[in-house]
Structure 1
Amino acid sequence: MEAQDSTDSLAEFNQLLNVSLNIAVTGMTGSGKSSFVNAFRGLRDEDKDAAPTGVTETTMEPTMYEHPGMQNVKIWDLPGIGSPNFKANKYLKDVKFDTYDFFIILSSERFCENDIMLANEIKKKKKNFYFVRSKIDNDIYNEKRQKVFNEQKVLCLIREDCEKNLKRVGNPKVFLISSYDLEKYDFENLRITLKEDLPTHKRSALLQAWPVCSAEALEEKIKLYKGLIWAASLASAGIAVVPVPGLSAACDTTIVVAFFVRCYYAFGLDDKSLTRLSEKVNIPLTEYLGTSKIATAIKEKAIPRIGVSASLAVVASTEFALSLLPGVGSVAAAGLSFATTQYLLSEGLKDLANTAREIRKKAGLDTI
């Protein structure tokens, strides 16, 4: 019974980290679907694992891309609606509609008849969709050539034009974004809207995978992982009561390492995310990872150097001895394991969170 309880505790923690989320990105050919997919995954278009981009249709069939650090979050680059192989009238069937939690419909210009028809079909099937007007940076660049330029006025005109063209879908909100400058425009508003619309158990998956585009988003991520520490510690305590030598140390190490690796990617501390940010602000940022032993160990694929393995092994041997004692032994072992795991995760989270905050500050993105 105790073995089953410990397995259930670990499974519950893993479930919290691994809720599946499938995001469909669709729209007309050339609307910037692949660039959006890459930006969401923290990649540049030229990176090795990036979705291919180009001025012609590069996506010939629904293509799934996993988030680099969170394999439970998948973003699907769908063929352009109306392209030769995917006719609008049977598009949803061809792209396997039921696979996705919600749809993002992109356009780099005005939304067209096919976009409207697709949205209405999705609406009939009772799934959410979101209109995203992409390549806003190009529009702003072109408008700056005018003698009189007002960025907010340009954005308002683009939004109003899109919304006017979408009246037949109701009164949908239109999000203006640039896949090359996620901190600007409506990318964060899109995240907030998605979070509000998603079922509770899917929100954590979205938040973990969403690029860090504001101080608020980073702090929400940190708060999410603080909440997960309790579940992880309970899982550790459940395992500690099972009198199997080495089981607690192995499971606790797995829990701690999985937790830290998730934080590392969620906070944008991985190489590809930092490279993208460094190029954007023209400041070398990877050197600031050196202030975090945990981030450095993950980057160098030297997880044992995080320093938790030895600590957990010592604690686990004590837990094992306690678990053999009748009555109070199991309770003491569980309490020791809970406290140790909670301490390690809290201190590690603090370290990674402060590193992420410092990097954003050095990049000039957050001044506080």
Structure 2
Amino acid sequence: MDPKELHSVLPHNALQEMKLAFEHQDFVAAAENIKRSLVSLDDIPLNVAVTGESGSGKSTFINVLRGLGDEEEGAAKTGVVETTVVATPYFHPRHRNVVYWDLPGIETASFKPSEYLELVKFHQFDFFFIIGSERFRNCHIELAQAINAMGKKFYFVRTKIDADLNASRRLNPRNYNEEQILTQIRENCIKGLFAGGILCPRVFLLSSFELEKYDFCLMQTTLERELPSHKRHVFLLSLPNIYTQALKMKSEAFKNQIWKHALASAAKAALPIPGLLPGSDIDYLVKVMKEYKGAFGMDQTSLAHLAQTFDKDISELRSVVRSQLTLQEITWELVESLLKRRELTAAALMVTQYAAGTVPMLGSVAAGGVAFGTAFWLLYSFLTDVAEDAGRVLSKVLENTCQY
């Protein structure tokens, strides 16, 4: 590993942030403070409101964002008639601090946006998805204006695009042009909303049954850009892995946190305990590595669900995984054995020496510095392998589909 590679693995901004963490406190105090900040990040609430007319696909949209099918346990209830009469919370199965709220339909004749928002306690929501399945009507526009007046963000989602395209293909098979039809639908939506007084409306065309197509990636990148940084991280990690770009964004988000996890893990080594050899906090590393596997859908449950969703045999998905660690159960014994590998020790020393050039404290607390480098390289290499394998699995499930 040369200095250029180390610079990409542990960039200057991360080293500077680490240096600040050690100002006016010792190794153990800095590590404990970092650990507390990571725990609080996991506890940051994100409340997403999903509203629209009855039958527009609100509940199915919520289910796919949570990685669930409509008939799975815990899924939001779906149907052709309104099944939601009060604001109903649905927790993300893996990230319990992320909650999607299925709000009552807005199409009633007595619908009054301000009263509706007060009824559903709009203050608790971070932003709104306004769902429409055919076109956006006055009720959608009035609701958006009321949300905007109350200082909240909103995004329009035009659902059931697959049904529109199928209908167009049947009606005009010889002149069918999918890209042209999508452009027309998007322009018509924007034109209608603008005419209703919505300036610069954000409209995303989606199919909840073909989430890998159309505007899901655009929606994801838009929200990643516009949400506050602490909410952005939570939202990004909770989204389903159906785009290569989504995997890259998750990988970068995790890599930015590795030095913090490594430092938190090394606190034990900097505070020797009589009778025990200094080293990393293995229980903590097991927790982080399991989180990586889950976030990229490389655990057994997620792989089985992905295979079922895309009508694949799970053995097909497992066959493209190159790292055996990706498929292994992450246990205390496994992580302990990995920490003892000679190649890991050599890489850890290089990481420690490189980081100590900017953060002298890492070099002055020998056991803590070595434990930091060991944990850092273990997490970095494992995350890289898991993310790359997730990309191969995604390519396998999408090999016969066309993405937009």
Report the TM-score when normalising by structure 1: 0.84
For 1:181, the equivalent position in structure 2 comes to 210
| CA positional deviation for 1:37 | 0.7
The residue that corresponds to 1:318 in the other structure is none
Return the alpha-carbon distance in structure 2 between the equivalents of residues 86 and 38 of structure 1: 26
Distance in 1 (CA, whole Å) between partners of 2:102 and 2:78 is 11
Whether contact under 8 Å (2:52, 2:105) holds in the other structure is yes
Describe the SS at the equivalent of 1:268. Answer: coil
Residue 144 of structure 1: aligned partner: 169
1:172: Cα distance to partner? 0.4
Q: Distance in 2 between matches of 1:188 and 1:252?
A: 37
What's the counterpart of residue 36 of structure 1? Answer: 61
Q: Structure 2 unaligned runs (5+)?
A: 1-24, 342-360
Residue matched to 1:362: 396
Q: Which residues in structure 2 correspond to 1:158-197 (within 5 Å)? A: 158-167=185-194, 168-197=197-226
1:218 aligns with 2:247: yes
Instruction: Give the corresponding residue for 1:205.
Output: 234
Moved more, 240-249 or 38-47: 240-249
Give the letter aligned to residue 77 of structure 1. Answer: D
Q: CA deviation at 1:313?
A: 10
Q: How far apart in 1 are the matches of 2:51 and 2:29?
A: 44
1:249-294 deviation per Cα after TM superposition (whole angstroms, max 9, x unaligned): 9982343223222222321234564345434543223564475554
With normalisation by structure 2, the TM-score equals: 0.77
Which residue is equivalent to 1:7? 32
Find the partner of 1:304 among 317, 331, 336.
331
1:184-333 aligned within 5 A: 184-244=213-273, 252-271=281-300, 273-285=302-314, 288-289=317-318, 291=321, 292-298=323-329, 303-304=330-331, 307-309=334-336, 331-333=365-367
Q: Which residue of 1 aligns with 2:379?
A: 345
2:49 aligns with 24
Contact residue 6 and residue 242 of structure 1 kept, 8 A? no
Contact 1:183 1:213 in 2 (8 A): yes
From the superposition, tell whether residues 329 and 358 of structure 1 become closer, same or farther in structure 2 (CA, over 3 Å). Answer: closer
Q: Does 1:94 align with 2:123?
A: no
Pick from 144, 159, 166 the counterpart of residue 119 of structure 1: 144
Residues 82 and 114 of structure 1 are in contact (CA less than 8 Å); yes or no, is this contact kept in structure 2? yes
The CA distance in 1 between the partners of 2:67 and 2:181, in whole Å, is 28
Corresponding letter in the other structure for 1:304: T
Q: Structure 2 counterpart of 1:347, which letter?
A: S
* Amino acid across the alignment from 1:146: L
Percent of pairs with identical residues? 41
Native 8 Å contact 1:107 1:134 kept in 2? yes
Residue identity opposite 2:286 in structure 1? V
Using a 3 Å threshold, how does the CA distance of structure 1 residues 365 and 29 change in structure 2: closer, same or farther?
same
- Could you tell me whether the CA contact under 8 Å between 2:298 and 2:327 is conserved in 1? no
Cα gap change, 1:295 to 1:68, in 2 (>3 Å): farther
Q: One-letter code of the match for 1:118?
A: L
| Equivalent residue letter for 2:153 | N
Instruction: Kindly indicate whether the alpha-carbon contact (under 8 Å) linking 2:92 and 2:100 is maintained by their aligned counterparts in 1.
Output: yes
Tell me which moved more, 196-205 or 29-38: 196-205
Q: CA distance change for structure 1 residues 59 and 334 in 2, over 3 Å: closer, same or farther?
A: same
> Alpha carbons of 1:338 and 1:78: their partners in 2 closer, same or farther (altered >3 Å)?
same
